[in-house]
Amino acid sequence: MVFLVFIIISIFLFIINISDLALPFYWDTAWYLIPTSKLIHEEGLLSFILYPGSDYPHTFLLPTLLSLAFNFSEPQATIVIHIIGILLSVFFLFVAYKLAKIFVDKEIAILMLLLVVSNPIFLSQTFLVYFEIIGLALRLLTLKFLLEKRPRAFLISSILAIFTRIDNFIFISFMSLNVLFDRKQKIQKRISFLTKYYLPSTILTFVWFLSNKLINGWWFYSPHRYFDEKHLQSFIESLEVIFVNQGRWAITCSIIVGLIILFFQKRLKLIFNNKLLIFFSASFPSLIMITVLGYVLNRYTLPLIIFNYYFLIVILNAIKIKNNKLGKIAFIVLSLAVIQFNHKNNCFAGNQEDCLLVKQVIRSEISK
């Protein structure tokens, strides 16, 4: 059944993108990711490190993967990259499902995927092909290994996550620090875990930033990088993106109603467990980053949006429901997914990269 679900989801993602696979790339993908991928194909990995066109110390795994597409000529290379983007989203969904099974039964974990594939930001980022989807997938995979107490897998996954997206180090640091508060383990064992399985990624991250400083002259951001510096406004706008926009008001209301029901059923303690708190600690740095940067890119909010989906299914699973519980939960989730999907062309970002309307933007640029 699970295999069939992923086949159906894969077909769905291909169907909504099949007529657009030859469209050119857009925004950050066009000005940074594609040029660096092509550069790696033509001149090797060292050329990526020396690339002068970035204002942020991006890491190299995704550009290296996409560089394989340039073994084909155009437009085949563009089509292959879009297909890779779809496959990376399927991988994300697989990881999201595996992580969800830590919190709920597999049937409800599958239902959670409906919320993800109906999310306009997820759908647009699937088409646009950037660091968001694969970066978050590897972060969730790292979290999964941490919760399952698989330290070697955690180490490997954390390194892959960081070399796919450097700011994953922040999220991995937050989730790793939870180990210090695990009273079920002796303090020596906690320190040993951090030394053996967290410290290596810390060292590698520092080395990467140091190499960027030596090559480009700056540590984290180029002095020429744009900062709007409207910190409070960015914080408020990011909350609106997470909890209200594109039909997510319905999910927020469902969470609130669910919490009220659990309160009266005296079952709130069933949802507030250490694993969920660790998950939250690995997600909320998105809000901090947006606030510090002082501007909102809607794709930056995706980690917290995804966390809300998990929070919702955990709540629904904890509610005492008589007769056909799975069917009723499925109805609720499907209804919420339909509400979200109806906003697939409802963009809020200025560059319209947070919904599928971005395809029309690209077509209009071609026709100019």
pLDDT tens digits for range 161-187: 999 999 899 999 999 988 888 777 888
The pLDDT tens digits of the residues spanning 66-94 come to 999 999 988 999 999 999 999 999 999 99
Q: Full-prediction pTM beyond 0.85?
A: yes
Q: In a 3-state reduction of DSSP, which class is residue 163? A: helix
DSSP 346: -
Residue 62 is predicted with a pLDDT of 94
Each of the 368 residues of the chain gets a pLDDT tens digit; together they read 788 989 999 999 999 999 999 999 998 898 889 999 999 998 887 777 777 667 777 888 999 999 999 999 889 999 999 999 999 999 999 999 999 999 999 999 999 999 999 999 999 999 999 999 999 999 999 999 999 999 999 999 999 999 999 989 999 999 998 888 877 788 888 889 899 999 999 999 999 889 888 877 777 777 776 666 677 888 898 999 999 999 999 999 999 999 999 999 999 988 988 899 999 988 988 888 888 777 778 898 999 999 999 999 999 999 999 888 999 999 999 999 999 999 999 988 877 888 999 999 898 888 76
Residue pointed to by tokens 């609106």: 240
Query: So what's the pLDDT on residue 8?
Result: 93
Give the domain extent around 173: 2-367
Number of domains in the chain: 1
Predicted confidence at residue 189, as pLDDT, reads 87
Asked whether 38 and 67 are in contact (CB, 8 A), the reply is yes
Whether the CB-CB separation of 61 and 163 falls below 8 Å is answered with yes
The enclosing H or E element of 308 equals helix 302-318
Q: How far is CA 271 from CA 17, 209, 316, 324, in A?
A: 37, 39, 10, 21
Q: How far apart are CA 356 and CA 113, in angstroms?
A: 19
Cis geometry, peptide bond prior to residue 63 (ω within 30 degrees of 0): no
